[in-house]
Chain A
Amino acid sequence: MKNLFIFNGLLRKKAVDILVSGSTIVSVTPHGEVPAPEDAEIIDATGLIVFPSFYDCHVHLREPGFEYKEDIESGLEAAAHGGFGGVMAMANTKPTNDSASVTEAMLQRAQQTWPNGPYLYPIGAATIGLKGEELAPMGELAEAGCVAISNDGVPVGGAEMFRHCMEYAATFGLTIIDHCEDPTLAKDCHMNEGEISEAIGVKGQPVVAESMQVARDILLAEFLNLPVHLAHISCKQSVDLIRWAKARGVKVTAETCPHYLLLTEKILNNYSTAAKVNPPLRSEEDRLAMKEAIKDGTIDIFVTDHAPHADHEKEHPIEGAPNGISGLDSAVALTWTQVEDGTISEDDFIKLWAEKPAAIFKLPLNTFAEGDIADFFLFDPKEEWKLTEDAMHSKGKNTPFLNTTLKGRVKAHWLGGTRIV
């Protein structure tokens, strides 16, 4: 395979030249120190940042069962252009990913459509059919290729059942990801409970619907001395609890999404179904608490909770519209705002999108050391671009950021030394 020479890229703020041979990194040297090999493909990365490929540990690729919203091929295409070398897909497909046959079919489809990556890492269901009644065959799921377990979308309400899920998942070394939501407090809710929901008459979900379950999961994790990963955290009360738990040494990790850092419930004042998401967009106080939590490490990772829907499904009054934002195409630019506004450093950005996801879910990581897998992308932090439907690679165009101008764009992406974008 031809060598690849990327010159004058910014790697952790240092100008470097990167030599790739085949699928691995041969050397990373200060810019200009070594000449480009004669036979190499040469890429000028002047002004561009070199990032290791990111992981999105929380996506919904809709296949099998809902291919009209998204399929594995289109979802991975959006991932490739979004800077993601690997995505972890939730199990709320149809049929549910609660058996090896479904996991294997998903992996086969990913291999057929994107043989060089981005890579699909399936997440198995915690309970059969996500019903919260019987444990899913987690051993079989792990053998088939699932990297974690979750009932995301339909939270396990019963504490005893969730305890069993945690214990059984740990049997196979799988981390459980919980969608923290008390089903009784969240029943029939369509946005955050607060002044806006009460002014416009929509039944709102109180923050305690999330934080009560966060508290439950933390207490169970401590009691069982087992890890738990808390999905799409959205509110101050939850991060306060997670901070307290980490200080006690509880094995808890947590994630949040770009929209909880950038938007509040105010956007729903006009019944904007594009911004209808679960957990719902919260208050300004909650948004600021989320920023603080990414800054101090209480939140471990960024995820998109990529939830594509067809246009006709979102085009309903708010009660009839499904939850979800299509996120893979825009997430890196949206979260780059947190570096731009000084909330986090560029190093933290890499931690939140690459290093900690890899550590929590035991995924491969490119550290740019000699011999590492050549998974990386070039990012122009200054390019401004409009997030139009045409610019999105996901089938789902459902995002409240549609037609807004974003700053920062993925310019090229290699996985295992093969250029995919």
Chain B
Amino acid sequence: MPQEKHFIWPHKDLLDVSQLSLEEVSHLLDTAEQFHEINQRPVKKVPTLKGKSVVLFFAEPSTRTKTSFDVAGKRLSADTFSLSSSSSSLTKGESLKDTALTLEAMNPDVIVLRHKANGAAQFIAERLDCAVVNAGDGCHAHPTQALLDNFTLRRAWNNEYKGKTILILGDIKHSRVARSNINLLTRQGVKVRLCAPRTLLPHTVHTWPVEIFQDLNKAMEGVDAVMCLRLQLERQQSGLLPDLSEYARMYCLTANHMDMAVEGAKILHPGPMNRGLEIASDLADCKNSRVLNQVSAGVATRMAILYLHATRKDKGV
């Protein structure tokens, strides 16, 4: 259980990383470190959130994020309840507001929401008294992913962000992971590069605090880490890509590309991966890959997030 005292978590909800100061991020990741240690023990369960309830409301398909939150909640001894859109009254035409109000009437301490609508987490957070954690809303934000990525990079870079360079590769336009990571990493002094075909970049990307590349070889020069994003296969049907083999030829991360990066550069991917399309299969499994570390980091980070938000009202942590 975290030992640090006198840090009162100021946020009812976690909607996006942009709401967190760097000091708060640091505190959250320090807390996650302690939970990460607990996760290595033979007995991984602690009574920290005993008697608290966490609703996992995933109105959009998800395996790893939902499982990660579920494991995180259970390891803290919280009672977790799952709800998907197919099993909720949303399929009967109930509005998001009414579903959320119904859930709150059952007095949970935290609602973890994934939803396809941008701003969905903010929408229910404004209407509910319990904590709301955004587990991904449309193309907007995925703060818990950005925090777990940050945890992974912090470990890989020995807590030194400043002066490091990371490349985010793939479908930036539709990626909530990219948006949240860009916000956090650039504030930490990391130089962020983006590489994607023009159809997968936002129209106003030139106003973002990033460097833009279309040529993957050039983009890889001197990077300390590369974060591949999942390509949603329907992008081809929607006319954004000519065909997937051309995409793979131009933008699939391979060992040759890694030769351009600094030695030991780390590879991240939020998953699930399309091997051979956005990342070569051997790279996904290589020693510099941090893909599985991200999964472990996800549980620890989400334990910290649930802990900070579920106990916020108690008296500071």
Contact flags (1/0) for B120-135 with A, using CB distance below 8 Å? 1011000000000000
Interface residues on A, range: 20 to 34
User: Do residues A198 and B203 form an inter-chain contact, with CB atoms below 8 A?
Assistant: yes
Q: Which of A108-116, A217-225, A316-324 contacts B (4 or more CB under 8 A)?
A: A316-324
- A167-199 at interface with B (beta carbon < 8 Å): 193-195, 198-199
Q: Which of B19-27, B138-146, B212-220, B222-230 contacts A (4 or more CB under 8 A)?
A: B138-146
Residues of chain B contacted by A241 (CB below 8 angstroms): none
User: Do residues B141 and A317 form an inter-chain contact, with CB atoms below 8 A?
Assistant: no
Residues of chain B contacted by A316 (CB below 8 angstroms): 95-97, 117, 123
Return the chain B residue nearest A190 by Cβ: B118
User: Do residues A320 and B117 form an inter-chain contact, with CB atoms below 8 A?
Assistant: yes
Residues of chain A contacted by B141 (CB below 8 angstroms): 201
B132 nearest CB across to chain A (Å):
13
Asked if B276 is at the interface (CB within 8 A of a chain A CB), the reply is no
CA of A195 to CA of B203, assembled, Å: 8
Asked if A66 is at the interface (CB within 8 A of a chain B CB), the reply is no
User: Do residues B118 and A312 form an inter-chain contact, with CB atoms below 8 A?
Assistant: no
A143 nearest CB across to chain B (Å):
41
CA of A319 to CA of B96, assembled, Å: 12
Asked if A315 is at the interface (CB within 8 A of a chain B CB), the reply is yes
User: Do residues B95 and A312 form an inter-chain contact, with CB atoms below 8 A?
Assistant: yes
B61 nearest CB across to chain A (Å):
17
User: Do residues A317 and B118 form an inter-chain contact, with CB atoms below 8 A?
Assistant: yes
CA of A318 to CA of B204, assembled, Å: 21
Asked if A364 is at the interface (CB within 8 A of a chain B CB), the reply is no
Return the chain A residue nearest B121 by Cβ: A317
CA of A175 to CA of B95, assembled, Å: 41
Interface residues on B, range: 20 to 34
Residues of chain B contacted by A271 (CB below 8 angstroms): 118-119, 122-123
User: Do residues A201 and B137 form an inter-chain contact, with CB atoms below 8 A?
Assistant: yes
Residues of chain A contacted by B117 (CB below 8 angstroms): 316-320
CA of A315 to CA of B100, assembled, Å: 13
User: Do residues A202 and B118 form an inter-chain contact, with CB atoms below 8 A?
Assistant: yes
Asked if A404 is at the interface (CB within 8 A of a chain B CB), the reply is no
Asked if B269 is at the interface (CB within 8 A of a chain A CB), the reply is no
* Chain A CB within 10 Å, residue with most, of B96, B119, B173: B119
Residues of chain B contacted by A206 (CB below 8 angstroms): 203
B190 nearest CB across to chain A (Å):
19
CB within 8 Å for A201 and B120 given contacts A315-B97, A317-B115: no
Contact flags (1/0) for B94-110 with A, using CB distance below 8 Å? 01110000000000000
Asked if A200 is at the interface (CB within 8 A of a chain B CB), the reply is yes
User: Do residues B119 and A198 form an inter-chain contact, with CB atoms below 8 A?
Assistant: no
User: Do residues B140 and A202 form an inter-chain contact, with CB atoms below 8 A?
Assistant: yes
CA of A54 to CA of B96, assembled, Å: 41
Asked if B205 is at the interface (CB within 8 A of a chain A CB), the reply is yes
A402 nearest CB across to chain B (Å):
16
Contact partner, B203, options A193, A200, A202, A315, Cβ 8 Å: A193
Residues of chain B contacted by A315 (CB below 8 angstroms): 95, 97
Residues of chain A contacted by B139 (CB below 8 angstroms): 201-203
Contact partner, B123, options A194, A202, A317, Cβ 8 Å: A317
Contact flags (1/0) for B184-219 with A, using CB distance below 8 Å? 000000000000000000111101000000000000
CA of A319 to CA of B117, assembled, Å: 6
CA of A317 to CA of B59, assembled, Å: 13
Residues of chain A contacted by B120 (CB below 8 angstroms): 317
User: Do residues B119 and A200 form an inter-chain contact, with CB atoms below 8 A?
Assistant: yes
A322 nearest CB across to chain B (Å):
13
Residues of chain B contacted by A203 (CB below 8 angstroms): 139
Residues of chain B contacted by A320 (CB below 8 angstroms): 96, 117
User: Do residues B205 and A198 form an inter-chain contact, with CB atoms below 8 A?
Assistant: yes
Closest 7 CB pairs of A and B: A201-B140, A201-B139, A317-B117, A271-B119, A198-B202, A201-B118, A195-B204
Q: Chain B interface (Cβ within 8 Å of chain A)?
A: 95-97, 115-120, 122-123, 137-141, 173, 176, 179, 202-205, 207
Contacts A/B (CB < 8 Å), 25 sampled: A194-B204, A198-B202, A198-B205, A200-B118, A200-B119, A201-B118, A201-B138, A201-B139, A201-B179, A202-B118, A202-B119, A202-B139, A203-B139, A206-B203, A270-B119, A312-B95, A317-B96, A317-B115, A317-B118, A317-B119, A317-B123, A318-B117, A318-B119, A319-B116, A319-B118
Instruction: Give me 16 other A-B pairs in contact (C-beta within 8 A), A200-B140, A201-B179, A317-B117 excluded.
Output: A198-B202, A198-B204, A200-B118, A202-B118, A202-B140, A203-B139, A270-B122, A271-B119, A271-B123, A315-B95, A315-B97, A316-B95, A316-B97, A317-B118, A318-B117, A320-B117
Q: Chain A interface (Cβ within 8 Å of chain B)?
A: 193-195, 198-204, 206, 270-271, 312, 315-320
